Structure 1
Amino acid sequence: MSAARGLLYLLLSAASWGTAGAAAAVLFGASGLGPVALTFWRSVGGSVLLLLLAAVRRRSVRVRSRLDLAVNGLGLTLFQIAYFEAVRGTGLAVGTVVTLGVAPVLVALGARPLLRERLGRAGAVAVFGAVGGLAVLILGGGEGGAAGRAVHPGGVLWAVASGAGYACITLYGRWRAGRPGPRTEALTTTLHSFLVCALLLLPFALVEGVWPAPGGALRTAGVLLYLAAVPTAFGYALYFTGVTVVRATTAAVIALIEPVSATVLAVTLLGERLSAATLAGAAVLLLSVTALAVAETRAATA
């Protein structure tokens, strides 16, 4: 497969991921589903569709490492449920920007002690810039009203937790790639990670309320099916295909399309109004992450 097609696949996958939060925002309230139940149903639906995809492609779904299963399963669970909590707590735009902005920064900070990767001067500046952008988001977006939607610290903290879950998966993947032994295909790892997520969340979903409200059941089922199919099975399948021919740092920059698409949906579809401080903080955060990715690309080339 050509690099151009790989880039196209990554662009489509990032754009599809940006719609996951919008689907969750649509379901909150009228469906009666909370973040735990929503994550549970997404994991169940995604597992079924990924299993069908593996069967069509005639790929083995056997996991070779229990550690892979535990780390990726727990990390994916934290990443998903905390993200939906962030969307409910502080809105789709801010929740997505913080999650996708914080994750690469946490990866860069964790890579130093865990993988012995040097951050470098440019990386350090990018990390400080990202922290500054996050501070502007929290301190400058505290008031809503006509100026825009308020940024709630609780929702931002959930977004940071979601980014931490994503960072754990990424750091473990980097560490695992440098270890000897057989490799598990990424599609298989993701399938089992979603299964672990569903099993972990089942008892909590039952407590929260796993079944949607009777009213609007058809609409709820349609949105759940979309959530499982497009940003989950379809999005991850495209990502796993495209990432094999595109540099990892390039993929990290392309992933920034997700918060951009989520912000567009938040403003146009959900009617969220963002204050000037919120937009400024988001811009600084995303620019810092872009600078971090560029610094990593230069270091890798050198």
Structure 2
Amino acid sequence: MTHVSVRRGLLYVSIAATAWGTGGAAGALLHQAGGLGPVAVSFWRFAAGAAVLLLARCLFGLGRPRPAGPLTTLRPARLARRGPVLGRVLVTGVAMAVYQTAYFAAIAESGLAVATVVTIGATPVLVAAGGRLLLGEHLGAAGLGAVTIALTGLAVLTLGDGWAAFSAAGVGWALLSAAGYAGVTLLNRASADEPYATATGGFVVGGLCLLPVAWAQGLLPSGDPLASWAVVAYLGTVPTALAYGLFFTGLAAVRATTAAVISLVEPVGAAVLGILLLGERLTPATACGSVLLLGAVALLALKERGQAPVPV
């Protein structure tokens, strides 16, 4: 896999988080224009994302392993790595399907605000704990402060209008979703596999896991077919293929906890889209929460760059 600098890794993760912020709006449009249920939307997201990355692989060689020596010396190593790589892709795909489905279940039980703040808020905490125990990543006082600021900003941004219908089941689903996302982050932080190949395989596995439920909900969109498939194409390209590919690439250079906190930019992007495109008001809670989140991301980014090894 090509070496990625810390600066580029931070940029990739930030772009991925920004792109994810548009996924909710695209999914809502697909639900309105095509009448699809949430699991069916996730299925088409994974299916379209896999198709986009496979097309990029055929046209541009994206995600193909690049030989570093004679084929005769590489083949045994590739065969030895095939099992662990397939296992990583399988676990990634199942975890992606789990956290997508669990998040929708949390929304159904507790509403969007509670589901969002618990799911996205618990993720950096779980990643920080897992990174310390499994990867030996030390967060430090500044990192802990940034995580605290980020969680405060997320709570202000998401819960500015108060807690909706609190439900223990909803919180449980949200925590399961956070655990799945944290697992994907930690697993691929420790990986040296080609990131776009991992993303493609994860989309295929995740789509197959969601297919039975999506089929039961109604797989094909109704209504305006041109509008529905245009949204599917966007959903598969930008917040899925591009975002996950860049996120997995950035994880090669950025600590897992830093990547998880930067991902909190996603609700900020969603809030901005809501104001610009959907006519939502810019409330003091939205402004304050966004400033806190972006400040925490900037603090961690500066800390990450300051700890990067100096080239010699």
TM-score by length of 1: 0.73
Aligned residues: 284
Q: What is aligned with 1:24?
A: 27
Q: What is aligned with 1:141?
A: 161
Q: Among residues 165, 169, 187, which one is paired with 1:172 in the alignment?
A: 187
Q: CA RMSD in A?
A: 4.1
For residues 116-152 of structure 1, give each alpha carbon's deviation from its aligned partner in whole angstroms, at most 9, with x where no partner exists: 3333222233333344445545664227xxxxxxx66
Q: Among residues 100, 125, 140, which one is paired with 2:145 in the alignment?
A: 125
Structure 2: which amino acid aligns with 1:142? G
Deviation at 1:233, TM superposition (A): 2.6
Q: Among residues 268, 271, 281, which one is paired with 2:276 in the alignment?
A: 268
For residues 143-179 of structure 1, give each alpha carbon's deviation from its aligned partner in whole angstroms, at most 9, with x where no partner exists: 7xxxxxxx665799566654433321121123x34xx
* d(CA) in 2 for partners of 1:296, 1:74: 30
Deviation at 1:200, TM superposition (A): 0.5
Alignment of 1:154-193 (within 5 A): 157=171, 161-174=176-189, 176-177=190-191, 183-193=192-202
Contact persistence 1:98–1:156 (CA under 8 A): no
Structure 2: which amino acid aligns with 1:248? V
Q: Which runs of 5+ in 1 are unaligned?
A: 144-150, 178-182
> Are 1:75 and 2:123 an aligned pair?
no
Q: What is aligned with 1:36?
A: 39
* d(CA) in 2 for partners of 1:189, 1:72: 8
> Are 1:208 and 2:217 an aligned pair?
yes
Q: Residue 55 of structure 1 aligns to a residue in which SS?
A: helix
Q: Which runs of 5+ in 2 are unaligned?
A: 67-77
* d(CA) in 1 for partners of 2:267, 2:156: 17
Contact persistence 2:45–2:235 (CA under 8 A): yes
* d(CA) in 2 for partners of 1:127, 1:293: 12
* d(CA) in 2 for partners of 1:51, 1:133: 38
Structure 2: which amino acid aligns with 1:128? T
Q: What is aligned with 1:199?
A: 208
Contact persistence 1:75–1:168 (CA under 8 A): yes
